[in-house]
Amino acid sequence: MPFVRVSMIEGKNKDYKGKVAETIYRSLRETFDVPERDKFIVIHEHSKDNFIYDENYLGLKKTDDLIIIQIFANNTRTMEQKQSLFLSITENLYQEVGIGKENLLIGIVGVGKENWSFGNGMAQYV
């Protein structure tokens, strides 16, 4: 059950944000064995003053089109699955949305299964 937070500078239209979310979800399904309907994505928009980044970190040119993606997921995925996910999200967002490959920062936070509740105060994965 991944939970995804997407942060970007405000001003993108609804279609753009929807396409970003759907593209990330498809990549999760293809590389992380995420079941159908397991989609929880929140998009955060920030003013330019509140979205601070280094424009040339690690020699990768960043612009105001930068998107920061945090993925909270069960800590059961292999290194290969994680690398595959990074590549899938990057390639798909580049091809389908036009986001430059250098304008993506993606982080995965591994979560123990006992740390999820999907409602009713229950830890459904325990």
What is the set of active-site residues? 2
DSSP output for 54-117 = -TTGGG----TT-EEEEEEEETT--HHHHHHHHHHHHHHHHHHH---GGGEEEEEEEE-GGG--
How far is the C-alpha of 8 from the C-alpha of 19, rounded, in Å? 14
